[in-house]
A and B are shown apart, each in its own frame.
Chain A
């Protein structure tokens, strides 16, 4: 017992920096946001009153939140399946010992070097209706590129944001799936080959089950990123085009400079907590996937 307690002063001193920082910048704001979520405020955002837990239901069912929830879910559906399929396709294609394959691998990984701001502004330039390269080349087939421009048409703005996200995430997806492919034991392929399995069968019966846990991990990361999309919106569309606001994701509803609830502390907090709950559900999915991973291993 004496020995157990001898280390305590050292433990306190060494843990203090991390714990103090996490307490002030992660736990306190979470607790405070849950508490502020009860508030309903007037237009100035200064006078607020506590209306209890029911406020969360009000915010959840409000037109604005429901709209943004729809936008975020749509963005998820547009980016996650496509991103996964493209990542698998590129990784499988580049998982061969061909001359010069290293160059292709580097190119497919390259977008991992782009930040949210850089990737978004790259697409902002490319999609410019007047002088953008894409409008120049493809407007014959897709007139919307020139008039009014992919980002300025309410019907296509979210699609343009999705393009930018898929492209920016491709490098990450490719790197991880490539690593997973390389960890599949070669003798599994050989025995499948001996058993007469063609390349398609080998892919569906050996490759896919072996990399399934990794695909799940990538899927969860892509889903989380889709749900947290903010910078792309701020730089590409500012949540617009108005008045339909087809790109106001939940994070943009909370933090966007042009958002209607930008100054409303109560509603902002409630929306942030609701976003947290959504992320939690996703984390649970991830943990269930981890359990599965253990089963694969045994």
Chain B
């Protein structure tokens, strides 16, 4: 009986702690969402309370038109989709070569290729900006897309899966006269669909969320900005318009939020693939 009470009290304590912590973690998002839906765009009034009553869409609407958010979302969508498709294709091809083909210096080449993962974007952007400039790619979609079309990590990931496919599969296909490209497209790629899904999801999220490179390669050309760098224009020295930022944040965060809810399992699998043994 006493043990039951102690256990009950412990459980209640744990729940209380969970609720308090969940409140703290979620509060920044909740407060911004409430500020976006409770006050007008030009009003200095902050919400007197954060209860979800008297909601209005006026701030979100004003942010949408003044921030040109429709255009920014389209740009981000286009750039992220192109990069995702490109990375999946280049990774499939290179991974196939490293997994199924015989050629001299394969091992050293693979190691050298992997080693480039160590070079962070923070180092290369100085020069890549100049390269983009000399190609005439400043303020262009090519500038946003092309430098990201290859992924060393993607090649590594897909090669891992290819190596786990039974070797007889390729041999049997070769006997039947099936060429490399057809085998890749009709057998190897479909068999690695979960990994390709995770790679695609991460590439899309990474491109969608990128900040440093877009902020350097797009210089004030509003027609080519992504949503991540375009949001900044809603930041205004006029304090009475600060709520526009909240409207913009709601619009910018919503697509990714929906995506993550839909692909929660792939996300967790992908995130933990490199981190947890077993």
A window 253-282: CB within 8 A of B? 254-255, 265, 268-269, 272-273, 275-276, 279-280
Q: A133 in the interface, Cβ–Cβ < 8 Å?
A: yes
Q: How far is the CB of A24 from chain B (nearest CB, A)?
A: 7
Write the nearest CB–CB distance from B34 to chain A, whole angstroms: 9
- Considering only CB atoms, which chain B residue lies closest to A101 in the complex? B18
Query: Does B123 lie within 8 Å of A29, measured CB to CB?
Result: yes
Interchain CB contact under 8 A, A14 and B96: yes
Stretch of B161-169, B192-200, B265-273 lying at the A interface? B265-273
Interface flags, A280-298, vs B, CB<8A=1, else 0? 1001000000000100110
Decide if A115 touches B256 in the complex (CB within 8 Å).
Answer: yes
A133 touches B35 (CB 8 A): yes
Residue of A nearest to B132 (CB): A25
Please state if A8 and B232 are interface contacts (CB–CB under 8 Å): no
| Bound-state Cα–Cα, A180 to B277, Å | 8
- The answer to whether B15 has its CB under 8 Å from any CB of chain A is yes
Q: Is A116 positioned at the interface, with any CB of B under 8 Å from its CB?
A: yes
Pick from A7, A107, A175, A269: contact of B272, CB under 8 Å: A175
B10-49 CB contacts (< 8 Å) to partner A = 11, 14-15, 17-18, 21-22, 25-26, 28-29, 31-32, 35, 44, 46
Q: A243-254 interface mask toward B, CB cutoff 8 Å, 1 = contact, 0 = none? A: 000000011001
Query: How many chain-A residues does the 8 Å CB contact rule pick out?
Result: 90
Chain A residues with Cβ below 8 Å from B140 are none
Contacts of B101 in A (CB 8 A): 7, 10-11, 14
Q: A100 CB to closest chain B CB, in angstroms?
A: 8
Pair B150/A21 contact, Cβ less than 8 Å: yes
Q: How far is the CB of A165 from chain B (nearest CB, A)?
A: 13
Closest Cβ neighbor of B47 among chain A residues? A133
B124 within 8 A of A: yes
Q: Give the residue of B46, B123, B256 whose beta carbon is less than 8 angstroms from that of A131.
A: B46
The answer to whether B21 touches A90, judged by C-beta atoms less than 8 angstroms apart, is yes
Chain A residues, CB < 8 A from B125: 29, 255, 272
Distance A235 CA – B32 CA, assembled complex (angstroms): 16
Kindly state whether residue B147 has any CB partner on chain A within 8 Å.
yes
Q: Which of B102, B127, B229 contacts A269 (CB 8 A)?
A: B127
Residues of A within 8 A of B249 (CB): 118, 121-122, 125
B119 nearest CB across to chain A (Å): 5
What distance in Å separates the Cβ of B253 from its nearest Cβ neighbour in chain A? 5
Task: Please report whether the interface of chain A is mostly helix, strand, loop or mixed according to DSSP.
Answer: helix
Which B residue's beta carbon lies closest to that of A24? B131
| Known contacts A231-B212, A254-B122, A255-B212: A108-B239 contact under CB 8 Å | no
Asked whether A111 is an interface residue with its Cβ less than 8 Å from the other chain, the reply is yes
Quick one: given A25-B124, A228-B122, are A136 and B46 in contact (CB under 8 Å)?
Answer: yes
A167 touches B25 (CB 8 A): yes
Among A30-38, A63-71, A186-194, the stretch in contact with B: A30-38
* Consensus secondary structure, chain B interface: helix
**Complex interface residues of chain A between 56 and 110 (CB less than 8 A to chain B):** 90, 93-94, 96, 98, 103-104, 107-108, 110
Nearest opposing residue in chain A for B97, CB measure: A14
Contact across chains for A122 and B28 when beta carbons are under 8 A apart: yes
- Asked if A117 and B90 sit within 8 Å, CB to CB, the answer is no
Q: Are B15 and A98 in contact (CB under 8 A)?
A: yes
Most chain B CB atoms below 10 A, which of A29, A93, A180: A29
Asked if B155 and A18 make an inter-chain contact with CB atoms under 8 angstroms apart, the answer reads yes
Q: Once A and B bind, how many residue pairs between them come within 8 Å at the CB atom?
A: 258
Question: Interface size bucket, B side?
Answer: 35 or more
Cβ contact within 8 Å between A121 and B235: yes
CA–CA, A218 and B106, complex, Å: 32
Contact A118 B252 (CB under 8 A): yes
The answer to whether A32 and B127 touch across the interface, beta carbons within 8 angstroms, is yes
Q: Which of A33, A125, A183 contacts B124 (CB 8 A)?
A: A33
- Tell me if A4 is interfacial: C-beta within 8 Å of chain B: yes
Q: A19-B113, A124-B245, A235-B232 are in contact. Are A272 and B123 (CB under 8 A)?
A: yes
Residues of chain B contacted by A297 (CB below 8 angstroms) = 277
Could you say which residues of chain A place their CB within 8 Å of the CB of B124? 25-26, 29-30, 33
B222 at the binding interface (Cβ < 8 Å): no
- Chain A residues, CB < 8 A from B22: 103-104, 107-108
Does A112 sit at the interface, judged by CB under 8 A? yes
Q: What 1/0 flags go to B221-242 for Cβ under 8 Å of A?
A: 0000000110110010001001
Partner of B94, one of A17, A32, A269: A17
Q: Quick one: which of A126, A131, A273 contacts B32, CB cutoff 8 A?
A: A126
B229, A28: Cβ atoms closer than 8 Å: no
Check B277 against A110 for contact (C-beta < 8 Å). Answer: no
- Sampled A-B contacts (19; CB under 8 Å): A15-B97, A18-B113, A21-B150, A27-B116, A28-B131, A30-B119, A33-B124, A90-B25, A108-B22, A108-B25, A110-B26, A115-B256, A122-B32, A170-B25, A176-B275, A230-B211, A255-B212, A280-B118, A296-B277
